[in-house]
Structure 1
Amino acid sequence: MKKRNALYIVFGLILLIGCSKDSDITSSNSSSTIDKSGNRLTTGASASDLLANANFDKLLIEIGYVSGNQPTTEAITNFENFLRARTYKENIEFKYTPLTSPGEETLTLDEVVDLENKNRTEYNDGSTLAIYIYFADAPSDSDNPDEGTVTLGAVYRNTSMIAYEATIRDLANASSAVTVADVETATLFHEFGHLFGLVNLSTQSVNDHEDPDASNHCNVAGCLMRAELEFGTSLLKTMQNRASKGLASIPEFDSECLLDLQKYGGR
């Protein structure tokens, strides 16, 4: 249980309402203001807005990355195709923001939040829903490599995600069957599933399929939202096993998760 409890902290199961050090509404030098409140809600709170077009018909994804840790073009292409397949968003834009390293050996969740507060530039504006994904050059402080519990990504607000790019690359480089783009893609898919509200994150599933031993994860074998996809070595083993059977290395949503996405406004 120690292994799982450590990882749940960084996978968005702590809801960070009101923990930001700067104001939810920031004044600029002109008369305009940036309202950040819509981007500082609990994980899953924007599920319907991400999936449907009633309130937002454009998705702007800001990718802040430490120089040298930009995600692969292949992974971002896969990610965009994933969003188009599961949501009704037809207008999807990516903005890349290179950043200097914070110079940390590991990152706590509080430090991740502070980095977003400092570096994020895009917030909801009119009919545009903004997402922030930070690609870090340092691992999570909860990692225990000796036990194989390394964290690949996390969501911690309704429109916020971190990908531990250095860890992702180390994991992928340990396998001849799985590429960096594969692990990046799997991480983005799984974590965005949580932003979609899966499983029971600010939402209610159509049918009960939550793992009793792993909150907010699916209990259906082979699903993208299985808890083992959080653990670096477990994810790698899953992807290698699928590839050896001639299957796509990255799991997909099972029928129960698809039912939930459709209930929340997606495809």
Structure 2
Amino acid sequence: MIKFLLKVFLVCLIITSCSSETDIITESETPINVNLNRQQTGSSANDLLSASAFKKMIVEVAYIEGFKPTETALNNFKNFINDRTFKPEGVTFVEKSIENTGKTTYTLDEVVEIEKVNRTQYNTNNTIAVWVLFIDGKSSKDTNQGAILGTAYWNTSFVIYQETIQGLSDSTFEPNRSLLESSVIHHEFGHILGLTNHGTDLQSDHEDEEHPKHCIEQDCLMYWAAESSQGIGNMVSGGSLPTLDAQCLADLRANGGK
């Protein structure tokens, strides 16, 4: 009997050590482990692309008040998801407005903290959840050579530096705002889909050695310039959205996507 109780105690100890109380949401009927949405970028690529584990996707679009993306960009994003992923039960968008923080520059840790406080949608049995934050400031990693426009940082999370995008668009000789927004959104979503060589295996040699996890082809959506003010202007100068090249598309299809 003592041996049995000891075994039970050890099993309970192992289970409870895997997740703290703050990692579990118990408000719903089924407890939700938020750590499933706090994994390495690209690690959920197959889950996002295919219908093998999740047949539905929910995208939580969060934005600081006054920095909501354009409806055109959101529609383009939904079309991009439908074009690349298998979700037979559909893709749903939910929007969430967040109060102004008073900050002008954000470290990635501060971006993560905003998600932890405000995110409401997490993976459930049949649904995979994505979080995208449109923020009212610039990245702390901006330099004199260029500004960062977006960053994918977890398996289902990315941030768009919306204030920077607004400052680069819709004025004379600048690109259309929805076009710029869409380009950066699709690029960062491409990273959580595992591109390039970021969780989705390469089917050919097309990773840029000078800019790892990006495609070497300059006309591809996953070219490094699509997330930097240093080069994004050239990518959208023709007035049309950058698209994935044949090599990136082949990678996605081999990992369960369209």
Do both share a fold (TM > 0.5)?
yes
Q: Match for 1:203 among 179, 200, 204?
A: 200
Corresponding residue for 2:13? none
Matched AA of 1:98: S
Give the distance between the partners of 2:252 and 2:32, measured in 1 at CA: 30
Aligned 8 A contact 2:138 2:148 in 1: yes
Report which of the two structures shows the higher radius of gyration computed on alpha carbons: 2
Normalising by structure 1, what TM-score?
Answer: 0.85
Normalising by structure 2, what TM-score?
Answer: 0.87
Corresponding residue for 1:254? 245
Q: Alpha-carbon deviations, 1:237-260, whole Å to 9, x = none? A: 3211x33xxxx2x21111110100
Matched AA of 1:102: T
Matched AA of 1:24: D
Give the SS at the match of 1:173.
Answer: coil
Corresponding residue for 1:23? 22
Q: Which runs of 5+ in 2 are unaligned?
A: 1-19
Q: Which runs of 5+ in 1 are unaligned?
A: 1-20
Match runs of 1:135-154 below 5 Å: 135-144=134-143, 146-147=144-145, 149-154=146-151
Match runs of 1:205-244 below 5 Å: 205-240=202-237, 242-243=238-239
Give the distance between the partners of 1:119 and 1:103, measured in 2 at CA: 16
Match runs of 1:50-129 below 5 Å: 50-90=48-88, 91-129=90-128
Shift of 1:223: 0.7
Give the distance between the partners of 2:157 and 2:78, measured in 1 at CA: 17
1:263 aligns with 2:254: yes
Distance 1:261 1:165, change over 3 A: same
Matched AA of 1:231: S
Give the SS at the match of 2:158.
Answer: strand
Shift of 1:40: 1.1
Corresponding residue for 1:13? none
Identity of aligned residues (%): 37
The number of residues matched between the two structures is: 239
Corresponding residue for 1:173? 170
Q: Alpha-carbon deviations, 1:127-171, whole Å to 9, x = none? A: 011001111011111112x42x11111110000010111111101
Give the distance between the partners of 1:117 and 1:217, measured in 2 at CA: 28
